[in-house]
Amino acid sequence: DTGVSQDPRHKITKRGQNVTFRCDPISEHNRLYWYRQTLGQGPEFLTYFQNEAQLEKSRLLSDRFSAERPKGSFSTLEIQRTEQGDSAMYLCASMADRGRGSNQPQHFGDGTRLSIL
């Protein structure tokens, strides 16, 4: 178990550019979540996948944001035409789905810090 891995750890880009982040979950975990965290706040839910299916998206996820999880393994989060307000830490988490109400914890990666110039 190598934990949840995110790449890159830091990304600095100019406003208007596109960026893509990658998340590799714990291998046996079939659920994968993306969160956004700004300074002094808790993680805010963006979207989640059950295997390769994207089952829920937050209203925070504008049409400039897209996430994929091909083959139910790693996931990517892309932000198009970045804006200043996109500057944040983007966290990925995975968990095992053992059925309804299974009470499993989420396991987090170290995040990708995005800075928009």
Partner 1 sequence: GNSVTQMEGPVTLSEEAFLTINCTYTATGYPSLFWYVQYPGEGLQLLLKATKADDKGSNKGFEATYRKETTSFHLEKGSVQVSDSAVYFCALSPWGGNQFYFGTGTSLTVIP
Q: Report whether 69 contacts 32 (CB < 8 A).
A: yes
Over the window 67 to 106, marking each residue x when it contacts partner 1 by CB under 8 A and - when it does not, the resulting string is: ------------------------x-x------xx-x-xx
By beta-carbon proximity to partner 1, the closer residue of 58 and 80 is 58
Q: Does residue 59 bind partner 1 (CB under 8 A)?
A: no
**Among residues 34, 43, 69, 82, the one that binds partner 1 under rule CB under 8 A:** 43
Tokens 């170290």 belong to 110
Quick one: which of 30, 45, 57, 72 contacts partner 1 (CB under 8 A)?
45
Looking up tokens 């993680």 gives 43
Strand segments (E) across the chain: 5-7, 10-13, 19-24, 31-37, 44-50, 53-57, 65-68, 75-79, 88-95, 107-108, 112-116
Give yes or no for residue 65 binding partner 1 (CB under 8 A). no
- What distance in Å separates the CA atoms of residue 85 and residue 116, rounded to the nearest whole number? 8
The contact set with partner 1 (CB under 8 A) reads 4, 6, 33, 40-45, 48, 55-56, 91, 93, 100-101, 103, 105-111
